[in-house]
Structure 1
Amino acid sequence: MGQPQYLMEHAEEARRLELKTEGGPVFRQALWAGIKPGMRVADMGCGSGKTSYFLHHLVQPAGEVVGVDASRSRIKHAQESYGAPGLNFACRDLAASLGELGTFDFIWVRFVLEYHRKKSPEIVGRLTKLLNDDGILFLADLDNNCLNHHPLPDRLDKALKKLMLVMEKERDFDPYAGRKLYGYLYDLGFQDIKVEMEAHHLIYGPLNETDRYNWSQKLTVAAQRSGYRFPEYPSGYREFQQEFLSFFSDPRRFTYTPIICCRGRKPARQLKPRS
């Protein structure tokens, strides 16, 4: 089998993930979810390994973190950058069997399900089987992803909306993944479910270099891989790219994206999905 086709796959993806991953939100969200020292933790879709590194700090002493990602190059980067006693990495497809990884007290899944629109319920069900009794499953994703900008020119607004529709249908991307997370946990019978929402992107005024790089890479990689022809623009993608970057660089621009975090506890009995 070939490696899964990740929408943001490109040579600099590990760098993009490194730049946009900050310790503060990881610590805050993981502590809110209930991570504790001594736990065995899985970071599913670990990317560059930076989040796994932060989670590893939170489970010391005696805790263990296993970062899991489908990209061999990013797993290699993670091992070389962050590998340490109690912090290991494994190259696995989340849509395949993961039983050989063992079981966990806490499973972290952040910014992953948005790339698996059709298979998200199946993936969450599979991960649930890896949880120990009373284990915690943490799901976090963006909602209305890439769609909240003001004031957008009409042509750019129409192009972005059509682009996201194409990515949903053709690239299995889900710009509304966040709002579905609570339902996954509820349907699987999780207990002590908690939900939190906050701004992940909140961009106004002068554009900092991290946001400039992150969004230009998202635009360059995802938009081109989508297959959308950008009929709104006589010159196609390049004209769209130019207009978006000009808009995004304007300090009057206002952009936001909410992140929705859900956590639930697997009861000490066999889960029975709710009808």
Structure 2
Amino acid sequence: MVSRSYIMEHEEEAQRLDLKTDRASVNRQALWAGIRPGMRVADIGCGSGKTTHYLHQLVQPGGEAVGIDASAARIEHAEQQYREEGVRFVCKDFYQPLLELGRFDFIWVRFVLEYHCSHSREIVGNLVEILKPGGILCLIDLDHNCLNHFGLSPRLDRAIHGIMGRLEKMQDFDPYTGRKLYSYLYDMGLKEIAVEMSAHHLIYGPLNKVDAYNWTMKVEVAAKNSGYAFDEYPGGFEEFQEEFRAFFADPRRFTYTPLIACRGIKSNSG
């Protein structure tokens, strides 16, 4: 039975999202996709609202940004931290039709579809419905998410792959979403599709505080709650956690995750 619960749900999730959201990356990716002043923008799966704030700045003067998320806790945080003139936040399940929100010139979907493997194509279809003719849909996600490390012991490698397999099966998580994005835009009939690939995680040498916190939370929340048995470890999850922390703190460690960004334009006749 696939669960729709959010695998990273914990009381500090809004703070984690705020910490890991980088203005320079958002700006570069959104400008590459074609965002410009005056646009009406939807930030799908807006989380803490920080990205919505950055997108709103990019569409000034005259633009509007709407952050949409199914989590009431995240929307409450966004309202408290990032509500301003021209920005609003909506708590809504984007599995459902979104036409009541009106139509948008630019729709941004970053690090969202990976949590909705069996429904990701359906979600994209809902978004195309609220995209204006000539509007831009930008999909950004990871590939081989959390799976590319060098320096792991054999049992740590087995455990990490086992955890991700468990999340795929039981939580509808997709570590390989990035490679599918182009096909979604192509199959929906979008035009002028462009694709860019870069490194999202590129971690080597001394570990910085943001990466340390982010990956610690991934282990403490997603790995712990995955349901994986940790049979490789006589001490169970705690022993796995201890070995992962030691591996990740080692400056010899090398970790990377490819990021794939795709954008397409809706036909004027659409």
Q: TM-score with structure 1 length normalisation? A: 0.96
Partners of 1:81 and 1:192 in 2: CA distance = 36
Q: Note the C-alpha offset of 1:66.
A: 0.1
Partner secondary structure for residue 155 of structure 2:
helix
State the match for 2:180 in structure 1.
180
Partner of 2:76: 76
| Consecutive unaligned residues in structure 2, runs of 5 or more | none
Q: Distance in 2 between matches of 1:96 and 1:232?
A: 41
Separation in structure 2 between the aligned mates of residue 70 and residue 224 of structure 1, nearest angstrom: 23
Instruction: Report the 3-state secondary structure (helix = DSSP H, G, I; strand = E; otherwise coil) of the residue aligned with 1:7.
Output: coil
Residue in 1 that maps onto 2:152: 152
In the alignment, structure 1 residue 18 sits paired with structure 2 residue 18: yes
Separation (CA, whole Å) in 2 of partners of 1:159 and 1:185: 34
Which residue matches 2:9? 9
Contact 1:143 1:257 (8 Å CA) reproduced:
yes
CA drift at 1:4: 4.8
2:246 alignment counterpart:
246
Matching of residues 157-168 of structure 1 within 5 Å: 157-168=157-168
Match of 1:273 in 2: none
Which residue does the alignment assign to 1:230? Answer: 230
- Stretches of structure 1 that go unaligned for 5 or more consecutive residues are 271-275
Report the TM-score, using the length of structure 2 for normalisation: 0.98
Q: Percent identity?
A: 62
After TM superposition, the structure 1 stretch with the greater mean CA deviation from structure 2, 103-112 or 231-240, is 231-240
The letter for the 2-side match of 1:13 is: E
**Which SS does the other structure have where 1:25 is aligned?**
helix
What's the CA shift for 1:177? 0.5
CA-to-aligned-CA distance 1:132-169 (integer Å, 9 cap, x gap): 00010000001000000011110000111111111101
> Aligned to 2:85, what secondary structure does the other structure show?
coil
1:93 aligns with 2:102: no
Q: CA deviation at 1:97?
A: 2.2
SS in 1 for 2:118: coil
Q: Using the alignment, how far apart are the partners of 1:128 and 1:33 within structure 2?
A: 16
Q: Distance in 2 between matches of 1:188 and 1:55?
A: 24
| Deviation, structure 1 residue 174 | 0.4
The SS at the match of 1:137 is: strand
Question: Is the aligned partner of 1:121 residue 2:96?
Answer: no
Q: 1:107 matched to which residue of 2?
A: 107
Q: Deviations over 1:160-213 (max 9, x none)?
A: 111111110101000000000000001111100000000000100110111000
Contact 1:4 1:70 in 2 (8 A): no
Give the count of matched residue pairs. 268
Q: Assess if the C-alpha contact under 8 Å between 2:149 and 2:255 holds in 1.
A: yes
User: Does the aligned pair in 1 maintain the 2:40–2:63 contact within 8 Å?
Assistant: yes
Runs (4+) of structure 1 moved beyond 4 Å?
A: none
Aligned to 2:33: 33
**Helix, strand or coil: the match of 1:57?**
helix
Distance in 2, Cα, partners of 1:187 & 1:132: 18
| Structure-1 separation of matches of 2:240 and 2:77 | 33
Distance in 2 separating the partners of 1:213 and 1:151: 20
Seen in structure 2, the aligned counterparts of structure 1 residues 4 and 84 have a Cα distance that, compared at 3 Å, is farther
CA distance in 2, matches of 1:178, 1:192: 18
Q: Secondary structure at the match of 1:226?
A: coil
- Secondary structure of 2:29 counterpart: helix
CA distance in 2, matches of 1:227, 1:102: 40
CA distance in 2 between counterparts of 1:144 and 1:247 reads: 19
The residue matched to 1:138 in structure 2 has which SS?
A: strand
Q: Which residue of 1 aligns with 2:197?
A: 197
CA RMSD of aligned residues (A): 1.0
Letter in 1 for 2:77: H
Give the distance between the partners of 2:87 and 2:259, measured in 1 at CA: 26
